[in-house]
A and B are shown apart, each in its own frame.
Chain A
Amino acid sequence: MSGPGWWLADQASRLLGQDEREAVRGDFSELGTTSATALREILGLVVRRQVGTWANRGPWLALVGLVLPLGFLLNVISRHWAASSAVYAWLYVNNWTWGYLESPGARLDVLNISVAFVRECITLTCWAWTAGFALGSLSRRASWFNGGLFGVVLLGGTIAGTAAPVGGTAIVFAHVFYRVLFLFFLRVVLVLLPAVAGMSTALRLARPRLSRAIGWFVAVTILTWWAAPRIESAVIWSMWSLSNTDPLAGGISAWRGSLAVRFLPAAMLWPAGYLITTASWPRRRTTAIAADD
């Protein structure tokens, strides 16, 4: 059972559960099935499993309540935070002078900006991990589809918008590093990878420990409370950059301070809330997994 055909069949069989994969591959060995037939049959089984999975409400809830809204929110927030961090990085890295540390006021600025940057990084990571956990836990076998779509929304959701702010910061974003690489790096390292880690944890664990779930919820709540004002500005900034209109133009400025925008931070909390629910209702959770698998 070697060669490119069997390699393809083996890759396709990774979309099945481990026991089922072993049983099916064993059946093919025993029956002397050709690689082309094996690939076709495995794909047929995968399609049947996917159809069965999407007959449950979990993958749909993950798609509608998490992949699209939270994927887009994480996209715009990480983009906005990366853009503002890029300006400071340019200021302090590309234009470094020891004068930044000589004056007490400038030193305090460096400290405040560094602390804010670290806090933003931790906040993004926590949001992404909890979102990934909820995504994996709700999607189960549809994780590869919902996870892939989450990655597409995260990395490409604002691709049609203005690449970077113009005006006073144009000199910063003239650098390809700050305009493209810095943004991409931040999204991949601080959002995509933690989301994948959260998803794989959810697929590995039937139920997280309650103490850890509470810890995640408290951490995410505090971080979200700190970040709430910046979430609003990130969304307004993103609407402006996507529409390429004046940020003070009627349609967009009407959103500033609106109830919908004020409630956005709560949206970032629901995956952490789901984590607690999953940890504290073991019987219901086990039943859901059994029904799904």
Chain B
Amino acid sequence: MKRSAIGRGVLDTLARYNHNVEVIMLGEFEYLLICATARLGDDAYGAAIRLSVEKATGCRCSVGALYTTLDRLEQKGLLHTWMGEATPERGGRPKRRVRVTAKGTREATNFYNTVVRASQGVSWAPNAGLEGS
């Protein structure tokens, strides 16, 4: 037990030393997926999340990027996915439904707060002129 804790500590230290930001916070695409999932609520599944991300970013979201990132987030415990019901408009095929976990909500909140803090005082941030006043 003690040995594995030491091992994890060493790995974390090495990861931070190598500026592996993924250990500390979400990636931006991961954050986009969590946002889309949270916004869609009970209607969150593959195609809907994809459309939501494309609408928010104006960029194309490939099936490969979507499903591999969903898997990664599920392995991290930030999302939970399951196979839903089949519908006629999908040719009788089921949806892969998605839900944000409590840990996912915490991580997304941390990411958002970090980005807001890091953006204070920069010219493109809406509150740039307010700093120091």
> How many residues of chain B are within 8 Å of chain A by beta carbon?
20
Say whether, besides A24-B46, A29-B93, A30-B89, A52 and B68 are in contact (CB < 8 Å).
yes
Residue of B nearest to A46 (CB): B64
| Closest Cβ–Cβ distance, residue A88 to chain B (whole Å) | 55
State whether the Cβ of A31 lies closer than 8 Å to any Cβ in chain B: yes
Say whether, besides A24-B46, A41-B63, A29 and B68 are in contact (CB < 8 Å).
no
A-B contact sample (16 more), CB < 8 A, given A29-B89, A31-B51: A20-B67, A22-B83, A22-B93, A23-B46, A23-B67, A24-B67, A25-B91, A26-B47, A27-B47, A27-B90, A29-B90, A29-B91, A44-B63, A45-B68, A48-B64, A48-B65
17 pairs, CB–CB < 8 Å, chain A vs chain B: A1-B91, A19-B83, A23-B93, A23-B95, A23-B96, A24-B63, A24-B67, A26-B90, A27-B50, A27-B90, A29-B91, A30-B89, A45-B63, A45-B67, A47-B64, A48-B64, A49-B68
Whether the pair A27, B89 counts as a contact (CB closer than 8 A) is no
CA distance A100 to B42 in the complex (A): 80
A30 — which chain B residues lie within 8 A by C-beta? 47, 89-90
B83 — which chain A residues lie within 8 A by C-beta? 19, 22-23
State whether the Cβ of B62 lies closer than 8 Å to any Cβ in chain A: yes
CA distance A185 to B64 in the complex (A): 41
State whether the Cβ of B94 lies closer than 8 Å to any Cβ in chain A: yes
Total residue contacts A-B, CB cutoff 8 A = 63
Chain A, range 38-78, C-beta contacts under 8 Å to B = 41-42, 44-45, 47-49, 52
A26 — which chain B residues lie within 8 A by C-beta? 46-47, 86-87, 90-91, 93-95
B65 — which chain A residues lie within 8 A by C-beta? 48
Q: A-side interface residues toward B, CB under 8 Å?
A: 1, 19-20, 22-27, 29-31, 41-42, 44-45, 47-49, 52
A41 — which chain B residues lie within 8 A by C-beta? 62-64
CA distance A223 to B64 in the complex (A): 47
Whether the pair B89, A19 counts as a contact (CB closer than 8 A) is no
B62 — which chain A residues lie within 8 A by C-beta? 41, 44-45
B68 — which chain A residues lie within 8 A by C-beta? 45, 48-49, 52
CA distance A267 to B62 in the complex (A): 44
B87 — which chain A residues lie within 8 A by C-beta? 26
A22 — which chain B residues lie within 8 A by C-beta? 83, 93-94
CA distance A22 to B12 in the complex (A): 38
Residue of B nearest to A20 (CB): B67
| Closest Cβ–Cβ distance, residue B47 to chain A (whole Å) | 4
Can you list, as one digit per residue, whether each of B53-96 has a CB less than 8 Å from chain A (1) or not (0)? 00000000011110110000000000000010011011101111
Whether the pair A45, B64 counts as a contact (CB closer than 8 A) is yes
Whether the pair B91, A23 counts as a contact (CB closer than 8 A) is no
CA distance A1 to B87 in the complex (A): 16
> 7 shortest A-B CB distances, which residue pairs?
A26-B93, A26-B90, A44-B64, A45-B64, A23-B96, A27-B47, A29-B91
Whether the pair B96, A19 counts as a contact (CB closer than 8 A) is yes
B51 — which chain A residues lie within 8 A by C-beta? 31
Whether the pair A27, B91 counts as a contact (CB closer than 8 A) is no
CA distance A26 to B47 in the complex (A): 9
CA distance A19 to B83 in the complex (A): 7
CA distance A52 to B63 in the complex (A): 15
A1 — which chain B residues lie within 8 A by C-beta? 91
| Closest Cβ–Cβ distance, residue B80 to chain A (whole Å) | 15
Residue of A nearest to B90 (CB): A26
Residue of A nearest to B91 (CB): A29
Residue of B nearest to A23 (CB): B96
Question: Which of B47, B94, B96 meets A31, CB within 8 Å?
Answer: B47
A44 — which chain B residues lie within 8 A by C-beta? 62-64
